[in-house]
Structure 1
Amino acid sequence: MKATKGSASWAWASLIKGRKVILNGARWQIMNGAQAKIWTDKWITNIQGGALCPIPGAIVDRNAIVETIIDWNSRLWNLDIIRPLLSTQEALAIQWILVGSILKVDRLVRPDEKNRKYSVRSGYHNIHTHHHRSSLRRPSSSMSIDQRVWKLIWHANVTPKIRHFLWGALNGHVAISYVLYKKKLRNSPLCPICNE
């Protein structure tokens, strides 16, 4: 998944741009362990985020592949090499993962889908969930304005066009000098009429 845009067709450029959406929510299903990286890829099904997080201060080989911690004779995990770098929860989460087949390659799957394949539906839900989580982390502009103001605007006896304009003005969507200045479309945030 290291393709670049270059001078690609519109379709290819769109795929490159949408790659983040497709990969977000995908996890590696471990078969022979030769494709997934231990420390940088999402491959752990039982922990938040799906990726390992080494203990603070630990130096790890970010290119080490999962295959190096599989004992193919017993078809069990050999965590001796990395155990000092893991939390107890992560070590247990790895041990719960079934070892795949040495004859099959690792593959990206979507755990939230029944068939484990990407679909527009799963992409949409992933974007919506991500947007919802990020909006919960930061306060919205509507939260900094008193709810009574919003009620007054939305229940005002004016045309919908005026209500929409007021909503846009309060959310910084109207192209006043300050907004144009923030978008680097003007040299000054001051009003050209009153200079304030």
Structure 2
Amino acid sequence: MRLGTRGPHNPSYVWRSLQSTKELIKKGARKRIGSGCQTKIWGDPWLPDQVNPCIESVCSQGLESSTVSSLRSAVDGSWDIDIIQDLFSERDQRLILSIPLSRQECDDNWMWANERFGVYSVKSGYNLQTNVSDTSPNSPSINWKFVWRLGIPAKVRNFIWRVLSSCLPTMQAFLTLRVEVNNCCPICHNLPEDDFHALVSCPWARSVWNISSIGSYFNSSCTFADWWINITHRRNQNDVELATAILWCLWQNRNDVVWNGKCKSATAIFDSAQTLYSQWKMTRKLHSPQINTEQQTMQERWIKPPE
């Protein structure tokens, strides 16, 4: 799928998922200049600038389809400084002239600007997406390192990441993806079910949080990310880990309601969370490395091998 490809009139879920990644790819994709014949001067991201890799100078009439190759000297293939000074601002001139040119004939190609060798990786894509989200003006700042350090099972850590990344398959999320479902909460049947409602603000979820010593801490304009940041700032790590167990059990109960029509009481959900958290702590103790004090006092010494 090309970056400029338009989707069909009634796109499928898979097609919409692919389309949703285009903006991220556009932020990190750059054109590497070879001959310059395949890169348009205006429109293509080819300048070495992380913030804006496109030409900012106004395009002169008749040059809309011009390629970067037209900026090179016909004599030796280097940059034609006279043309560049005539057409571009100081900022664009500086960036263009900083690009090294190959004397060999080679095609322009796409590269990923956030990797040293220009090859896309999931890690760099995730880092770029996280940075983009964190720098948006209304986005709360989430301490992801704290999330990864929590002493909880990997599946629960992944679950927390999904919630904080707005990837939880709630009824409202399905409706946003144009899946025809009733977005009403399957437990309270009163309000639309998003991640915050399902796990915190639903009356059923609130009754579970009120039983715990953690509490719910929220207001009407709160998001799940706001609530999470509030909890992590107010409580110690043990309480936060217990909170993840409660979140996990709340979501498991929600799924049991949706698929099996069974709903546990608030007390039963909290008891399950406490039991689960106790099992996690016990497992950590059993698998934590035991330090032998006798071995610790011994020092390794290098001994010359026999001749």
* TM class, shorter-length: 0.5 to 0.7
Write the distance in 2 (CA, Å) between the matches of 1:68 and 1:160: 69
**Pair 1:68 & 2:74 matched:** no
Q: Distance in 2 between matches of 1:172 and 1:114?
A: 36
Give the direction of change, closer, same or farther, for the CA distance of 1:12–1:48 in structure 2 (3 Å limit).
closer
Which range moved further: 75-84 or 1-10?
1-10
Partner Cα separation in structure 2 for residue 117 and residue 170 of structure 1: 41
Larger RCO of the pair (alpha carbons < 8 Å, separation 6+):
1
Alignment of 1:36-55 (within 5 A): 36-46=39-49, 48-54=51-57
Return the match for 1:106 from 105, 108, 129. 108
When Rg is computed on C-alpha atoms for both structures, the one with the higher figure is 2
Q: CA RMSD in A?
A: 3.2
**Runs of at least 5 residues in structure 2 that lack an aligned partner in the other structure:** 141-208, 225-307
In the TM superposition, what is the alpha-carbon distance from 1:122 to its structure 2 partner?
1.4
- 1:108-127 correspondence to structure 2 within 5 Å: 108-127=110-129
Choose from 15, 24, 29 the match for 1:26.
Answer: 29
State how many pairs are aligned.
152
Partner of 1:171: 222
Contact 1:22 1:118 in 2 (8 A): no
Q: In structure 1, list runs of 5 or more residues that go unmatched.
A: 141-156, 174-196
Change (3 A) 1:24 1:95: same
Alignment deviations for residues 161-194 of structure 1 (CA, whole Å, 9 cap, x no partner): 9944x52524278xxxxxxxxxxxxxxxxxxxxx
Q: Measured at CA, do residues 50 and 12 of structure 1 come closer, stay the same or move farther in structure 2, by a change above 3 Å?
A: same
Partner SS for 1:108: strand
Scaled by the length of structure 1, the TM-score of the pair is 0.62
Change (3 A) 1:71 1:47: farther
The change in CA–CA distance for 1:96 and 1:13 in structure 2 (over 3 A counts) is same
State the 1:39 CA deviation. Answer: 2.0
**Counterpart in the other structure of 2:38:** 35
The Cα of 1:48 is off from its aligned counterpart by 4.1
- CA 1:3–1:170 in 2, change beyond 3 Å: closer, same or farther? closer
